[in-house]
Amino acid sequence: MAFWSSTSVFTSKVPRKILFMFTLSLSVTYLFYSLMSCYNSLQFPLQENYVYQGRLVTEETTFVTLREKLYYASTQGFPEEEFTEAAAAEKTTAISTIKDHAEAEQRTLEWIRTQASPTKSASVYHTTALEREHQEFSTTDSELRVNCTSDYGEKKLPQAIIIGVKKGGTRALLEALRVHPDVRAVGNEPHFFDRNYEKGLDWYRDLMPSTLEGQITMEKTPSYFVTNHAPKRIHSMARDIKLIIVVRNPVTRAISDYTQTLSKKPEIPTFEVLAFKNRTLGLIDASWSALRIGIYALHLESWMQYFPLSQMHFVSGERLIVDPAGEMAKVQDFLGLKRIVTDKHFYFNKTKGFPCLKKPEDSSAPRCLGKSKGRTHPKIDPDVIRRLHKFYKPFNMMFYQMTGQNFEWELEEGSEYHSSQD
């Protein structure tokens, strides 16, 4: 009886232990296969992320390189043709990089497809998602190839214009600004708002260099300042545009203007003859363009009808020669740029009488303006200079009051201006 009792206890406990072990074994097996089947689906998002990160790094590196190249090109010579050739070569490199990147993405996509086996439905879903991501990348790359010109970027209407004045130092200012990596300026004077307005804004925009995001498009045409309809036309294009005016002692400016004309037409009358209607009576000929340009208050009045002074910046042509870094700091602040162009970028050329540009990290010779700049002024009768100072004085006082700046041109009375920056 005791035997049968112990046997029944044994038979009742053993099946339960076996059942428990069997159940546990099945659970572990199921969990193992579940994890194996989910392996690929868990792997896909990581692979997509790696592809996406790789693309971001590639694009960021490309654009950093472009900006560096643009900065390098801007510090080399003035001809636009040289920059176009360099930009074309860089474009070929950029497109090659994009193609290589697309091929790498395609190889990644094919590898992922070969991994899809245990959970076919999950792999199809993630492969489809990656293909969609790949299409989005391809669209972006396509747009990059379409929108980027040989200069990289987009052609825009200028956000800032150097509107004057002739023989005030506008070329020197423009070339100094072009050293800045965030400034892109057309080299030649477009003369759109005074001579070519009928050609339309599309024609004008096409003259501009291409810019990347964060860069400023600029141009300079000094005759705008004395063109009656230029303020209204510029305002209709962009009422928030920034205007830069380089001014200089009007007497010195007039002599420089005459010197330039004399170099082209040696047969013209002397400065003294052109400056007076009747020298005996002391009647100055204010209709002569060389003298009329220097009546700055008269011209500024037209601009103030369309633009507030907060959108205008006046550069002293004299200080641009003796302290180019100081004037450039003010201009960069006005344009909202970092002060990158500093005294390290300038070298004073005693022969020419004005600063030349140089790259601070380079030991090469400074880059000066062309032979047409820095001409020696002819000797002018001191009595004529004195009379011109007297003529301009009330207009200068009015100009100081309008701008809120004193350029101290009256302190130069009595000088003969034998030579100066042309």
Q: Is the pLDDT of residue 240 over 70?
A: yes
Average pLDDT value for residue range 52-66: 39
DSSP letter at 405 equals -
User: Residues at the annotated binding site for 3'-phosphoadenylyl sulfate?
Assistant: 167-171, 248, 256, 373-377
Q: What's the confidence (pLDDT) of residue 215?
A: 97
Tracing tokens 């498009």 back to the chain, one arrives at: 217
Among the ranges given (109-118, 195-204, 344-353, 390-399), the one the predictor scored with the smallest mean pLDDT: 109-118
Residues 6+ apart with CB under 8 A from 203: 192, 196
Q: Two tokens at 320?
A: 């641009």
Q: Is the pLDDT of residue 414 over 70?
A: no
The CA-based dihedral angle spanning residues 127, 129, 130, 136, taken in that order and rounded to the nearest 10 degrees: 150
232 is an active site residue: no
* Rounded-to-integer distance, Cα 207 and Cα 217, Å: 11
Q: Name the pTM for this structure.
A: 0.63
Beta strands in 167-316 (DSSP E): 183-185, 210-211, 216-220, 242-247, 276-278, 283-284, 312-316
Q: Would you place residue 354 in the very low, low, confident or very high pLDDT band (cuts 50, 70, 90)?
A: confident
Phi (first) and psi of residue 155, to 5 degrees: -80, 130
Q: Which of 69, 166, 167, 220 is catalytic?
A: 167
Which homologous superfamily is 154-250+288-370 in? P-loop containing nucleotide triphosphate hydrolases (3.40.50.300)
Decide: 246 and 161 in contact? Cβ < 8 Å.
Answer: no
pLDDT > 90: percent of the chain: 53
Host H or E run for residue 65:
helix 2-74
Decide: 346 and 357 in contact? Cβ < 8 Å.
Answer: yes
Q: What's the confidence (pLDDT) of residue 353?
A: 73
Q: Is the pLDDT of residue 340 over 60?
A: yes
Residues 6+ apart with CB under 8 A from 172: 320, 324, 354, 355, 369, 373, 421
Q: Dihedral sign for Cα 126, 130, 133, 139, please.
A: negative
Identity (one letter) of the amino acid at 143? E
Among the ranges given (174-183, 236-245, 365-374, 379-388), the one the predictor scored with the smallest mean pLDDT: 365-374
DSSP letter at 367 equals B
Q: What's the confidence (pLDDT) of residue 159?
A: 98
* Rounded-to-integer distance, Cα 192 and Cα 189, Å: 9
Q: Which residue has the higher pLDDT, 355 or 288?
A: 288
* Rounded-to-integer distance, Cα 402 and Cα 204, Å: 31
Report the SS3 class of residue 378: coil
Decide: 52 and 133 in contact? Cβ < 8 Å.
Answer: yes
Q: Would you place residue 64 in the very low, low, confident or very high pLDDT band (cuts 50, 70, 90)?
A: very low
Paired sense of beta strands 160-164 and 242-247, if any: parallel
* pLDDT tens-digit series, residues 74-127: 333 333 333 333 434 444 444 444 444 445 445 444 443 444 344 433 343 334
Q: Would you place residue 419 in the very low, low, confident or very high pLDDT band (cuts 50, 70, 90)?
A: very low
Average pLDDT value for residue range 43-51: 38
Residues 6+ apart with CB under 8 A from 212: 63, 66, 67, 70, 152, 153
Among the ranges given (102-111, 126-135, 322-331, 368-377), the one the predictor scored with the smallest mean pLDDT: 126-135
The neighbour count for residue 98, using CB atoms within 10 Å, is: 21
* pLDDT tens-digit series, residues 304-315: 999 999 999 999
Q: Would you place residue 267 in the very low, low, confident or very high pLDDT band (cuts 50, 70, 90)?
A: very high
Q: Which residue has the higher pLDDT, 60 or 281?
A: 281
Return the bridge partners of 283, or none.
278
Q: Is the pLDDT of residue 133 over 80?
A: no
Among the ranges given (56-60, 166-170, 318-322, 367-371), the one the predictor scored with the smallest mean pLDDT: 56-60
Q: What's the confidence (pLDDT) of residue 371?
A: 56
